[in-house]
Amino acid sequence: MRIIEPITVTPAMVTASNVPVESLPAWNVGTTYANGARVIFDNGIWESVQASNTGHNPGADTLSQWWVRRGATNRFRPFDQRLGEGATGGATITYSIALPRTLNALCFFGLNGTSVRVRIITPGPNVIYDRTIQLASRQPAATFWEYIYNPFTFKPDLVLTGLKLPSGGTVEITINAGAAAQVGEIFLGNDIAVGTTLTGSRLGIVDYSKKDRDEWGGVFLVPRPVTKTVNFQFSIPTTAAARVQEIIERVTSKVCVFYAVDGEDPFGTTVAGVMRDYDLTLDAGRSFGTIQAESLT
């Protein structure tokens, strides 16, 4: 049982990218905006909610009387901690990110591409890591013929741990797709060992869709997001209980990456999301706990 605690990637850290930004005008203090007009301000997309909107700074409108933030711009969506809508580019997506501190993990979610190349450059500068990961994979098959005839798919998620991301260095990311490359979220952070994952861990989903029936039994569906849940069962030496408690307190109400095993995850336990519940039962020698995580939408 491990948790990757990400850092916040600020616009200043993104030193280069080929991802296009929406063709919307930047907010101007002297322009009068109509109801529904959209502008770019502070790397976000803002929509006017009133007519004759003049001189109202979107960032200072804390009550949303004049402006509502609709999300990040295309270039900065991979760093907004939401998986519903990511960055879209052409044949490739590239990012160069300056590292403000030493880190050891890099994660991608919501990928649409054939491969990901990661280069890590020290302040020297020296390239200390250069790896291309192919995303093509076969769907699980029950028989040989099923394996032969199943089409290739492409993994949407990628978790890289055990890296050396030095403070003051740069990580260069290239996502190749041939056309319309996409990435939902990119996390940079530190990988933390919590405990030993046990059998009995459970997978599930939460469906936020609305389902109603009329008086004749007809079904009315309003599709809404479905999130993934993982209930991790784990054990730790009881002497580590205080350390684990401190970790949990730190990541509570914070978007993190939760996973069960190193390397390829054949069980589907990797979740980028938030912790919903935590419990640890203290016992002599070893203690046993539960962490429930729910994915982002």
Tens digit of pLDDT for each residue in 190-211?
999 999 999 999 999 999 898 8
The pLDDT of residue 268? 86
| Over residues 230-240, mean pLDDT | 96
| Over residues 154-169, mean pLDDT | 93
Q: pTM for this one?
A: 0.88
Q: Give the tokens for residue 106.
A: 């890099």
| Among the listed residues 31, 188, 18, 164, the one whose alpha carbon sits nearest the alpha carbon of residue 87 | 18
The pLDDT of residue 125? 87
Residue with tokens 């009315």: 220
The pLDDT of residue 140? 63
Determine whether 107 is exposed, middle or buried from the number of CB atoms within 10 Å of its CB (0-12, 13-18, 19+).
buried
Question: What element of type H or E holds 219?
Answer: strand 219-222
What is the average pLDDT value for the chain, to the nearest integer? 91
CB 59 within 8 A of CB 45: no
Q: Residue 35 — very low, low, confident or very high, per pLDDT cuts 50/70/90?
A: very high
Q: Give the tokens for residue 78.
A: 């991979």
Q: Residue 255 — very low, low, confident or very high, per pLDDT cuts 50/70/90?
A: very high
Q: 221 - beta bridge partners?
A: 211
| Over residues 36-58, mean pLDDT | 95
Q: Give the tokens for residue 104.
A: 């050891």
| Over residues 223-242, mean pLDDT | 94
pLDDT higher than threshold 80 for residue 143: no
Question: What element of type H or E holds 247?
Answer: helix 241-251
Q: Residue 94 — very low, low, confident or very high, per pLDDT cuts 50/70/90?
A: very high
CB 166 within 8 A of CB 122: yes
Q: Residue 237 — very low, low, confident or very high, per pLDDT cuts 50/70/90?
A: very high
| Over residues 55-71, mean pLDDT | 94
pLDDT higher than threshold 80 for residue 38: yes
**Residue 74 three-state SS:** helix
In angstroms, how far apart are the furthest CA atoms of the chain?
Answer: 72
Q: Give the tokens for residue 216.
A: 């004749």
The pLDDT of residue 138? 59
The pLDDT of residue 213? 85
pLDDT higher than threshold 70 for residue 147: no
Give the residue, 4 or 262, on which the prediction is more confident. 4
Distance of CA 249 to the CA centre of its chain: 21
- Spell out where 73-126 has E strands: 87-88, 92-98, 103-109, 115-121
What is the amino acid identity at position 71? Answer: G
CB 98 within 8 A of CB 163: no
| Among the listed residues 186, 18, 16, 184, the one whose alpha carbon sits nearest the alpha carbon of residue 92 | 18
CB 189 within 8 A of CB 105: yes
Q: How far apart are CA 236 and CA 224, in angstroms?
A: 38
Q: Give the tokens for residue 241.
A: 């209980």
The pLDDT of residue 149? 65
Q: Residue 214 — very low, low, confident or very high, per pLDDT cuts 50/70/90?
A: confident
Which domains does the chain show, CATH number per domain? Answer: 2-18+81-190 (2.60.120.260), 32-72 (no CATH), 196-295 (no CATH)
Q: How far apart are CA 185 and CA 98, in angstroms?
A: 17
Instruction: Indicate the pairing of strand 185-193 with strand 182-183.
Output: unpaired
The pLDDT of residue 188? 97
The pLDDT of residue 170? 97
The pLDDT of residue 220? 86
